Amino acid sequence: MNTLAKNQSLLANKLIPLLSTHNDLTITHLKQIHSQIISNGCLNSTELLTSFIFSCYNSQNTKYAELILHSLPTSVPLVWNSMIRVSLDSQNLKDFLDIYHWSRLYGFFPNKSTTSLILRFCARFGASQLGKSFHCQIVKMGFQFDVVLQTGLLDFYSKIGDLRLARRVFNEMSEIDVIANNVMISALSKHGFFDEAKQLFESMPKKNASSWNLLITGYCKAGDVESARSVFDRNPSKDVISWNAMIDGYCKSEQLVYAEEMFTKLGSSRTAVSWNTMIAGYVQCREFARAINLFQEMLNEKVKPTEVTMISLLSACAHIGALDMGEWVHAYINKNRFRVDAVLGNALIDMYCKCGNMEAALDVFHGLHTRNTFCWNSIIVGLGMYGYGSEAIDAFNAMQKEGTIKPDRVTFLGLLCACCHSGLVSAGKSYFSQMKSSYGIEPGIEHYGSMVDLLGRSGLLEEAMELIKTMPMKPNVVVWGSLLRACHVHKNSELGEQVTQHLLDLDPRDGANYVFLSNLYASLNRWTDVAMCRKLMNERGVLKTPGCSSIEVDNILHEFVAGDTSHPQFPQINALLDKIAKDLQANGYEPDTSSVLHDIDDEEKEDVIRYHTERIAVAFGLLNTLPGKTIRIVKNLRTCGDCHVALKFISKLYKREIVVRDRNRFHHFREGHCSCKDYW
């Protein structure tokens, strides 16, 4: 390399990074850089000129950029093509549109390779009208029979979901190769035409690995895992993508045994995608502990986790309330410098909300550079579950003020639930009304259910019943169940019996309906009616869902099911429960046995409620955690009134914060008080 060429290369290496990172250069700076380009003989460097002109454009000095283009008539096509490619690389649709429209003013049209990139860009961002306009330009320029551009158009129409035009392009192709066939198979599979996709696949004179994988993946996504397995077994060139597709298909069809078999057979060929697919499958099938265990195995195998791994793992922690594990995952994310975008950020927010650490959820939320609808919804729903109704409304107002995110159905469901848990009747009615009038969102049955719950909890039982009668859809078990719970709280047995009949008509085998009615009768000492309910349950073979509470200690999840005394520490737990009962009574606690469904003496009833699973879990926590450490419980059913009172006493007497996530909401017990303010 001669001295001049070496100097030009050094200047380009120096200026290109500078230009690409500074979009606020003044005209003085630009003129200085331009003079260096001229004096060093770099006017033939397309890459440097492109960076420079693009920098002029980004710095709002478009006229100066135009002057440069006018002075370079022989290099303009190369520079325009290069500028368009740079704008495409930015993955910003506005940048590309600005540069492209600017080039059209100068009568320039991109070459074939650049046009192919533009079609891919339009396909990726769903820019349907823009892509169709390029189709017209391709025809005008006489490129409509170019195989590369025809394949690009086929891919574009496939990805924007226009199967009619995809078929047309495919049928008009001058030459159909394996790539074009693969694109068409993908399009047909995406739209559910599997027989046609298979017919095309079988007719292909040449197939590659992608051909087989596309058909396997298509069948798996459609839930036809048997057909997918048939194609997989015939595949002569199985690669890791084939295996991963089958693992995913079996997981999505909840056939974990087969998924595990495929995962095991893949052996040392497993990639991070393989591990992620299996972990996500466990989460989808609600095998949360197995998902966490497999992650530990993944680390032992020295396979590097990805953001996708973290999202699945955080979801598992959220469902079982494993806060310690969730915090470890968060620390791992920070230590390994994962990019916490809106998706991963939302997974963290959701985990902290569901694991009972609202402060950490808010910290993550406020630390995000960009937030999507899911992030806002998670924080609104989380605040509502905690009974922070006013704070949830404040978050909704902040979301509106930001202006970039529009509320959706989940946003309003979160708001209504927040109002429900905080007794904000007027606010709830207002938001329910605004859904359609101000935001054009038609309330769904879940929104009506929340309103019935809100009115019922507040004692407005007749108004709740009237709302049910005016619903545009048939009320389901959730709606009637909300009203039945309210009848129980407000001891309205007459309306409760009517509501229960509706519930039994909808689902005569749901044990919860009988239990709710039995609870109502028991609270009124109507033991004959309680016995009648139990008789009906026995005759119809209906089983009551057993209570189950879980607690995580040292990253190990311990579950306690009603009536199960098999835990190795149960003798110590039982002894502590006896001590707790004595301590509570010595400090003024009086058991509320109204929810016990047996006409037995008070002492026996006290024994029944003493062994509710959340109390067993709390006793275990007291035995196995350091003094002062917060005890966190997840329960599958609603916490009963007596346990709610007892846990307030325990939090004060034993100087522990106790967080209970039951089926409906969070209860944070501290110094004898609960965050729900006894409204739940």
Does the pLDDT value for residue 451 go beyond 70?
Answer: yes
**Which residues in 364-395 are b (16+ Cβ under 10 Å) and which e?**
bbeebeebebbbbbbbbbbbbbbbbbebbbeb
Confidence of residue 424 (pLDDT cuts 50, 70, 90): very high
β-pairing, 548-553 with 666-670?
Answer: unpaired
What is the pLDDT at residue 446?
Answer: 94
Identify the helix (H) or strand (E) that includes residue 634. Answer: strand 631-635
Return d(Cα 11, Cα 34) in angstroms, integer.
12
CB 395 within 8 A of CB 389: no
What is the pLDDT at residue 108?
Answer: 67
Return d(Cα 395, Cα 415) in angstroms, integer.
10
- Can you state the angle between helices 373-385 and 342-354, rounded to 10 degrees? 10
CB 79 within 8 A of CB 102: no
Confidence of residue 490 (pLDDT cuts 50, 70, 90): confident
> Which structure tokens are listed for 631?
């005890």
Least confident window among 184-193, 498-507, 612-621, 645-654: 498-507
Return d(Cα 66, Cα 161) in angstroms, integer.
39
- Can you state the angle between helices 3-21 and 46-58, rounded to 10 degrees? 30
What is the pLDDT at residue 676?
Answer: 81
CB 79 within 8 A of CB 108: no
Tens digits of per-residue pLDDT, 136-173?
878 887 777 788 888 888 889 988 888 899 999 898 88
**What integer is the mean pLDDT of 464-471?**
94
Return d(Cα 2, Cα 495) in angstroms, integer.
96
Identify the helix (H) or strand (E) that includes residue 670. Answer: strand 666-670
Tens digits of per-residue pLDDT, 627-655?
999 999 999 888 888 888 999 999 999 99
List phi, psi (to 5°) of 486. Answer: -65, -40
Does the pLDDT value for residue 21 go beyond 60?
Answer: no
Return d(Cα 528, Cα 512) in angstroms, integer.
19
CB 528 within 8 A of CB 593: no
What is the pLDDT at residue 680?
Answer: 65
Average pLDDT, the chain: 84
What is the pLDDT at residue 545?
Answer: 74
What is the pLDDT at residue 597?
Answer: 46
Least confident window among 29-33, 253-257, 258-262: 29-33
List Cβ neighbours of 167 (8 Å cut-off, separation of 6 or more): 184
Return d(Cα 233, Cα 231) in angstroms, integer.
6
Kindly write down the DSSP assignment for every residue of 541-594, as one continuous string.
T--PPPPEEEEEETTEEEEEETT---STTHHHHHHHHHHHHHHHHHTT-----T
More confident residue, 257 or 129: 257
CB 328 within 8 A of CB 556: no
**C-alpha separations of 368 from 257, 278, 340, 364, 383 in Å:** 39, 29, 8, 6, 18
Identify the helix (H) or strand (E) that includes residue 659. Answer: strand 658-661
**Which residues in 562-576 are b (16+ Cβ under 10 Å) and which e?**
eeeeeeeebeebeeb
Question: What residue ranges do the domains of the chain occupy?
Answer: 1-109, 449-540, 548-674
Identify the helix (H) or strand (E) that includes residue 138. Answer: helix 128-140
Identify the helix (H) or strand (E) that includes residue 622. Answer: helix 613-624
CB 344 within 8 A of CB 326: no
Written in H, E and C, the secondary structure of 180-246 is HHHHHHHHHHHCCCHHHHHHHHHHCCCCCHHHHHHHHHHHHHCCCHHHHHHHHHHCCCCCHHHHHHH
Confidence of residue 600 (pLDDT cuts 50, 70, 90): very low
Question: What topology is assigned to 449-540 in CATH?
Answer: 1.25.40
Q: For a pLDDT cut of 90, what percent of the chain falls above it?
A: 45
Confidence of residue 43 (pLDDT cuts 50, 70, 90): low
Tens digits of per-residue pLDDT, 178-196?
989 999 998 898 888 888 8
Return d(Cα 438, Cα 407) in angstroms, integer.
11
Tens digits of per-residue pLDDT, 57-84?
666 666 666 666 666 655 556 666 666 6
Return d(Cα 618, Cα 629) in angstroms, integer.
12
Question: Whose structure tokens read 């003129």?
Answer: 31
More confident residue, 618 or 107: 618
Does the pLDDT value for residue 45 go beyond 70?
Answer: no
